[in-house]
């Protein structure tokens, strides 16, 4: 018989906050060719993932991008990088959703692939301030879907994986969480009603 779920683990991007490179690029690069080049240099190259995994600092990343990009893109790239977190609006209804879970006695945590910049913006989003703990990949130099990051989360917050329910928008991350003992749901359409139904099927009061 399954244990009662006591802890809800949330991903951040596209679960709690609306995140996409396009949200950042459009305001700084009106030219489509410039946008494509910057996206390739920062995201497609894997540098963004290296920031999330703690393998690059901000200064190291900017230095790499300055080498790869023409000079006229240096300053807008820097400005975009320093302010991109301002372009992650909360997903409608998720703040209230987290608040309802906490009112029903659940502890709620963040497990996110995010860079060392996280402390600069974590208090600007109400939904993040409601959480009982934040586990951010770059500070541990590991990232989802590595099973080690889930085990480190359990160790850090003294969690029993069988008492945890994990929500992420990426299938690979959901599958990895199940491999270490959590129940999980792929939240890929911003459909809170579908999420609520899936959680109720697991006995979660929401």
Residue 13: which pLDDT band, with cuts at 50, 70 and 90?
A: very high
Mean pLDDT, to the nearest integer, of 24-30? 90
Q: Which one is predicted more confidently, 189 or 127?
A: 127
Q: How far apart are CA 70 and CA 67, in angstroms?
A: 8
CA dist., res. 196 & res. 83, Å (int): 33
For all residues of the chain together, what is the average pLDDT?
96
Distance from CA of residue 67 to its chain's centroid? 28
- The CA-atom distances, in angstroms, between 90 and each of 23, 97, 196 are 13, 12, 18
Lowest mean per-residue pLDDT among 39-43, 77-81, 83-87, 151-155:
83-87
- pLDDT band at 122; cut points 50, 70, 90: very high
The predicted pLDDT at position 83 comes to: 92
Alpha-carbon gap, residue 184 to 174, rounded angstroms: 6
pLDDT of residue 197: 96
Sign of CA dihedral 124, 127, 131, 133: negative
Residue 84 or residue 171, greater confidence = 171
> Which neighbouring-strand residues pair with 133?
109
Q: Is residue 6 predicted with pLDDT exceeding 80?
A: yes
CA quadruple 172, 173, 179, 185: dihedral, nearest 10: -100
Angle value at C-alpha 104, between 101 and 109, nearest 5 degrees:
40
């Amino acid at each position: 018989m399954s244990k009662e779920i006591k802890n809800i683990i949330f991903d951040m991007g596209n679960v709690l906050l609306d995140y996409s490179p396009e949200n950042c690029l459009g305001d700084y690069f009106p030219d489509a060719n410039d946008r494509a080049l910057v996206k390739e240099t920062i995201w497609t190259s894997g540098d963004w993932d290296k920031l999330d995994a703690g393998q690059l600092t901000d200064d190291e990343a900017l230095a790499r991008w300055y080498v790869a990009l023409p000079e006229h893109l240096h300053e807008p790239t820097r400005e975009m990088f320093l302010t991109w977190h301002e372009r992650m609006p909360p997903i409608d209804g998720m703040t209230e959703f987290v608040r309802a879970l906490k009112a029903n006695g659940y502890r709620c945590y963040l497990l996110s692939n995010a860079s060392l910049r996280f402390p600069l913006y974590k208090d600007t989003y109400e939904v993040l301030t409601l959480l009982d703990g934040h586990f951010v990949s770059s500070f541990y130099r590991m990232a989802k879907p590595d099973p080690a990051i889930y085990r480190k989360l359990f160790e850090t917050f003294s969690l029993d994986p069988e008492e945890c329910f994990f929500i992420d928008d990426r299938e690979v991350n959901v599958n990895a969480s199940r491999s270490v003992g959590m129940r999980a749901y792929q939240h890929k359409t911003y459909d809170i009603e579908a999420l609520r139904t899936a959680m109720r099927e697991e006995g979660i009061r929401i």
